[in-house]
Chain A
């Protein structure tokens, strides 16, 4: 187990609750900020545009009056002096100068509030400025000002300068008020979203707490407990499923381990029982030297059996630990296969079994296998040894080489022997598992041969599979990946 599984130690990663809350706050703040800035921008541009339009409209009105009735002073006066006075929201000023800059007519007090020099230079004759300029009045108010030229009558080039100003201090107040309200909204939004975030994250994470509590109650004795699939939220359903899957595998491994311990004890008990019994009987009375010799020799055989079991178990243990190292190389399996067949040839002949090597297709004949040659031999040797054990006289064993679907090479050992009952197939690669329990006493092998084959295949990241039909035969296939 690595430390990350211990869970008890304080991790320095942020909790999901905190992450979610912060995400809520940041996104709520972002959205609020964007919308307030936008609203603010809309308001100010809208106001500025309307003010500009107002001034431009006034300029056009004055132009018209100057053009059509240049001498009707009353109309002009009305327009400049009275019309400006009761203007509702903002105060509005107008002034008309002659081309030399002398004031002809102006709104009352305009000379003190907006003297002539603060106005910009007029645009060309006939043009109305597109924007109003911003100025400060002498009494500190904000003014929008506009200057334009106007023709007097239809005549020969006599012009007037029109100066218009709009006091927008009222609007300024409005906007600054609006601004502070927006800030307030932003602040409240942040606080609110933080609160909501904490609440929502807490609620959303409830099932995780529940799952944790359930998991905490699972111990080695309760490996049969499961989280179940139905009552979890969709996202956790998958986790619960994966966790249950892990429990399945754990329970299976645990059971196998228990079974393994029992089998191991049994496996060791048999030879040790023989040893104790034989020795005890031998020592119970005086015997001739030959008898003692017989006992010692028999003991030696039992010791070899024990040693063989230990050897095999050590091999398996090493294969499962990180200690195991294999030296893979790419080679033509033919030579190795033929060597192993040669090793078993004599025994097969004595048993009346033929062992043949069959290449499935021309393509497979050139197939190279990527494996550790020694382990390759050992796996094949164990399979042939097994096949020989369960094949009757006159039977045959066929070793085949085929391309795997993944580009690797499959080596198969098929016999036409007694076969394996379906209920045993899933476990024949387990340690000490023997399909035929009635024959388990006084059996020839250690019951570890196939377990070793499986280990070897795991070391190669390959797999071993078996197909069998009782009475017809068994085929074990080793898939070596590319």
Chain B
């Protein structure tokens, strides 16, 4: 899938391109809005990542221009301004999602995947990862056929990691999704919770499913 990055800061553009390319996307970059618009006219992109603070025409301007020209490509905008009005403005102008700088790359990757996946994709009721089986409807999990005795929160945590299998899930996202702590909270708590979950999910078995990605978060990998 092809992605366009419009970002004037060359370092940021470079690492975004690198990271996304390594995750299987074809990436073009442009350092200013008009160049980006020209590329959009020429190629068909699955997604545009747009920085708001651009020299000359700013991101808002480009965004409205894209929509005015009838290009329906999903847009994910990056902003350093973290005000509610800014977010609302972006979404009003037709952006599909936004990320506030500084952000973790894993978070960006997750958002990109979500935006691209958005649509009629149905989540299966039962997830199977290696010998782990998670029944999302009955809130039950088992490994090698043995039922795992999990608390509701532990189950939510496991299900979150399993649904995002192969992606790193940040501590902040875990705190938000599992406990509803959608603010900057004490993330040591997440480490404790994951440690406890591991005791039940991984310790009794030889194959360890839950991986720590240092400095980023946790993930379940199926290989």
Residue from A312, A318, A381 in contact with B186 in the complex, judged by beta carbons closer than 8 Å: A381
27 pairs, CB–CB < 8 Å, chain A vs chain B: A298-B215, A299-B215, A301-B215, A304-B215, A308-B184, A314-B82, A315-B184, A318-B82, A323-B85, A325-B84, A339-B179, A339-B180, A340-B181, A343-B175, A343-B179, A343-B189, A344-B189, A346-B196, A347-B192, A374-B182, A374-B183, A377-B181, A378-B181, A381-B185, A382-B186, A385-B185, A445-B186
| A154 interface hit (Cβ, 8 Å) | no
A297 → B minimal CB distance (Å): 4
Complex Cα–Cα for A301 and B188 (A) = 13
Give chain B's interface secondary structure class: loop
| B208 interface hit (Cβ, 8 Å) | no
Report the interface size for chain A: residues with CB under 8 A from the other chain: 33
Q: In the bound complex, do residue A377 and residue B192 qualify as a contact, i.e. CB atoms below 8 Å apart?
A: no
Complex Cα–Cα for A343 and B192 (A) = 10
Q: In the bound complex, do residue B186 and residue A346 qualify as a contact, i.e. CB atoms below 8 Å apart?
A: no
A-B CB proximity, top 3 nearest: A300-B215, A297-B214, A385-B186
Q: In the bound complex, do residue B180 and residue A377 qualify as a contact, i.e. CB atoms below 8 Å apart?
A: yes
Q: Which of B97-155 contact A (CB under 8 A)?
A: 102, 153
Q: Which of B184-217 contact A (CB under 8 A)?
A: 184-186, 188-189, 192-193, 196, 214-216
Complex Cα–Cα for A378 and B180 (A) = 11
| B83 interface hit (Cβ, 8 Å) | yes
Complex Cα–Cα for A26 and B121 (A) = 86
| A310 interface hit (Cβ, 8 Å) | yes
| Chain B neighbourhood of A325, CB < 8 A | 84
Of the listed residues A325, A344, A382, the one surrounded by the most CB atoms of chain B closer than 10 A to its CB is A344
| Chain B neighbourhood of A315, CB < 8 A | 184
**Given the interface contacts A323-B83, A325-B84, A347-B189, does A301 sit within 8 Å of B183 by beta carbon?**
no
**Given the interface contacts A297-B215, A346-B196, does A378 sit within 8 Å of B82 by beta carbon?**
no
A72 → B minimal CB distance (Å): 116
| Chain B neighbourhood of A343, CB < 8 A | 175, 179, 181, 185, 189
Of the listed residues A297, A304, A307, the one surrounded by the most CB atoms of chain B closer than 10 A to its CB is A304
Q: How many B residues are at the interface, by size bracket?
A: 20 to 34
Complex Cα–Cα for A303 and B105 (A) = 12
A258 → B minimal CB distance (Å): 26
Complex Cα–Cα for A304 and B153 (A) = 25
Q: Which of B51-81 contact A (CB under 8 A)?
A: none
Q: Which of A281-317 contact B (CB under 8 A)?
A: 297-301, 303-304, 307-308, 310-312, 314-315
B38 → A minimal CB distance (Å): 34
Complex Cα–Cα for A344 and B175 (A) = 11
**Given the interface contacts A310-B102, A347-B189, A381-B185, does A301 sit within 8 Å of B214 by beta carbon?**
yes
B98 → A minimal CB distance (Å): 15
Interface string of B151-186 (1 = CB under 8 A from A): 001000000000000000000000100011111111
Complex Cα–Cα for A307 and B102 (A) = 7
| A350 interface hit (Cβ, 8 Å) | yes
**Given the interface contacts A300-B214, A347-B189, A347-B192, does A342 sit within 8 Å of B102 by beta carbon?**
no
B215 → A minimal CB distance (Å): 3
A391 → B minimal CB distance (Å): 14
